[in-house]
Amino acid sequence: MVRLLLISNSTNAGEEYLEHSLPKIKSFLNGFQPQNAVFIPYAAVTFSFDQYEQKVNQRLKNIGLQVTSVHHYSVPAKAIEESDLIVVGGGNTFHLLKYLQDFELIEVVQRKVESGTPYIGWSAGSNVACPTIKTTNDMPIIEPHSFKAFNLINFQINPHYTDAHPQGHAGETREQRILEFLEINRNVYVVGLREGTALQIEGDKVKLIGDKPAKIFHYGKQPQDISPDQDLSFLYIDF
- Out of 27, 84, 160, 165, which one is annotated catalytic? 160
- In this structure, what CATH number is given to the domain that contains residue 107? 3.40.50.880
Residue 210 has pLDDT above 80, yes or no: yes
Q: Residue 231: its pLDDT value, please?
A: 83
Q: What is the pLDDT of residues 8-26, one digit of tens each?
A: 999 999 999 999 999 999 9
- What number is the average pLDDT over the span 95-108? 98
**Which among 54, 115, 64 is positioned nearest to 89, based on CA atoms?**
54
Q: Which entry of 8, 123, 126, 218 is annotated as an active-site residue?
A: 123
Q: Which long-range contacts (CB under 8 A, 24 or more apart) does 199-203 make?
A: 199/4, 199/5, 199/6, 199/126, 199/157, 199/232, 200/4, 200/5, 200/6, 200/24, 200/28, 201/2, 201/3, 201/4, 201/5, 201/6, 201/153, 202/1, 202/2, 202/3, 203/1, 203/2
Residue 48 CA to residue 19 CA, distance in Å, equals: 22
Reduce the DSSP state of residue 25 to 3 states and report it. Answer: helix
Catalytic site includes residue 71: no
Once rounded to an integer, what is the mean pLDDT over residues 214-230? 95
Residue 221 has pLDDT above 70, yes or no: yes
Confidence of residue 84 (pLDDT cuts 50, 70, 90): very high
Tell whether the model's pLDDT for residue 239 goes beyond 60: no
Rounded to two decimals, the pTM is 0.96
* pLDDT on residue 172: 83
From 27, 59, 33, select the one nearest 207 (Cα to Cα): 27
- Among 138, 231, 233, 238, the active-site one is 138
Q: Which domain holds residue 34?
A: 3-236
Q: Is 238 a catalytic residue?
A: no
Q: What is the mean pLDDT of residues 117-122?
A: 98
Query: In whole angstroms, how far apart are CA 44 and each of 11, 75, 159, 225?
Result: 15, 19, 17, 32
Annotated catalytic residue 229: no
Does residue 165 have a pLDDT over 80?
A: no
Q: Is the pLDDT of residue 129 over 90?
A: yes
Confidence of residue 237 (pLDDT cuts 50, 70, 90): low
Number of independent structural domains in the chain? 1
Residue 86 has pLDDT above 50, yes or no: yes
Residue 174's CB is within 10 A of a number of other CB atoms, namely: 17
Determine what percent of the chain is predicted with pLDDT higher than 70. 96
Break the chain down into helix, strand, coil percent, rounded to 5: 30, 20, 50
In the predicted model, what is the mean pLDDT of residues 182-208? Answer: 96
CA gap 158, 137 in Å, rounded: 7
